[in-house]
Amino acid sequence: MGPADRRTLERAAVVAALVVLFDRSEAEAEDRVRGEVLDDLLTASRRHPTTVRERGLRHGADLDDPHAVLVARVPHADRLRATAVATRIAAAEGGLAGRHDGDVVLILPGDDALALARQVHERLTDPGVVVTLGVVGPVSGVDAYAGAWAEARQCVVALLALGRAGEVADPAGLGLTRLLLGTTGPDELAAFLERTLGPVRDYDDRRGTDLVGTLEAWYAGGGGVAGAGRRLHVHPNTVTQRLDRVGQLLGEGWRDPERGLEVRLALRLVRLQAGAG
């Protein structure tokens, strides 16, 4: 290659580099604006519904259509990569994405929020990276998104409290537990379970029995030993003997309405910890 050809190639390389730089800068600016629209949408004090709606439309997001709201809790070291992946997904799907209150948040069009969340979870998760994701939806209308974000975030906190980091959940999957654990950490949950159901669980672990399952069957049968026996495929007298043992472990009054509510809640939490519905 002669001197003239080398100069031509060098100039072409410079022009190509500038084009790539401009394209990258434009994409970064677009992502930044999407993130700003997301912040305004989820922050009531900064939100003007008409303005946010119009800004969303300019970026391809019609916020009056049904959307899923996803909140992903990602380790700090992986948050930048996850945010970049989220913004690419949002740009391709006509949604919004960015970081909000320390989490990666996406607002994506669609009617099946849970299926959408599982797809996004798969794309955000890398080997060795634990992504916990909560989802709510579909919702529509500018005023609905801040509340949906708060609910999705509660799902994330509840999953972490249950020791189920790396999973996906929506309010239907967690039920009332989401409200009870939405501001609770794993230490508080462990203390509640130990106080409420600990002696029964310890007895099962030591003896290989299933008093916890007996309690679940008894409550499911409305407090009748016959119904519990049918569910467990044992004689009602066996259920009575097991419940007597439960009474010895939990103390008098465990069947009282107030204590019973706590026991039933503890049983539900144990099942959720195990990933069961």
Whether 60 is in a domain gets the answer yes
Q: Within this chain, do residues 146 and 235 fall inside the same structural domain, yes or no?
A: no
Q: Mean pLDDT, to the nearest integer, of 159-175?
A: 87
Rg (CA), the chain: 26
Whether 59 contacts 33, CB under 8 Å: yes
Residue 11 covered by a domain:
no
Q: Is the dihedral of CA 202, 204, 210, 211 positive or negative?
A: negative
Sign of torsion over alpha carbons 122, 126, 130, 136: negative
pLDDT at residue 19, rounded to an integer: 61
Residues 142, 53 share a domain = yes
Residue type, 144: A
Residue 15 is assigned to a structural domain of this protein: no
Taking only the tens place, the pLDDT of each residue in 187-221 is 777 878 888 899 999 999 999 999 999 999 999 88
* 6 vs 122: which has the higher pLDDT: 122
Q: What is the pLDDT of residue 161?
A: 86
Is there a single domain that holds both residue 46 and residue 166?
yes
pLDDT at 211: 95
How high is the pLDDT of residue 260?
86
The Cα 35–Cα 50 span in angstroms is: 17
- What is the tens place of the pLDDT at every residue in 228-269? 999 999 999 999 999 999 999 998 888 888 788 889 889 988
- Note whether 32 and 155 are same-domain residues: yes
Same domain, 144 and 208: no
The domain that holds 237 is classified in CATH as: 1.10.10.2840
Residues 189/272, Cβ–Cβ less than 8 Å:
no
At 249 the pLDDT is: 94
| Lowest-pLDDT range of 34-38, 57-61, 220-224 | 34-38
**How many domains does one find in the chain?**
2
- 91 and 218 belong to one structural domain: no
When pLDDT is cut at 50, 70 and 90, the band that residue 183 belongs to is: low
Can you give the residue range of the structural domain that contains 222?
186-273
Cis status, amide bond into 186, omega within 30 of 0 = no
> Is residue 7 scored above 70 in pLDDT?
yes
The residue among 114 and 19 whose pLDDT is bigger is 114
**Are both 29 and 130 inside the same structural domain?**
yes
E strand segments, 77-202: 96-100, 103-109, 132-139, 168-169
pLDDT of 31 strictly over 70: no
Looking at 156, 181, 206, the residue that finishes a domain is: 181
Residues 155 and 238 grouped into a single domain? no
Q: Are residues 166 and 200 in the same domain?
A: no
Mean pLDDT for all residues in the chain:
84
pLDDT tens figures, 73-107: 999 889 889 998 999 999 899 899 999 988 999 99
Are 66 and 163 in a shared domain?
yes
Query: Do residues 228 and 160 both lie within one domain?
Result: no
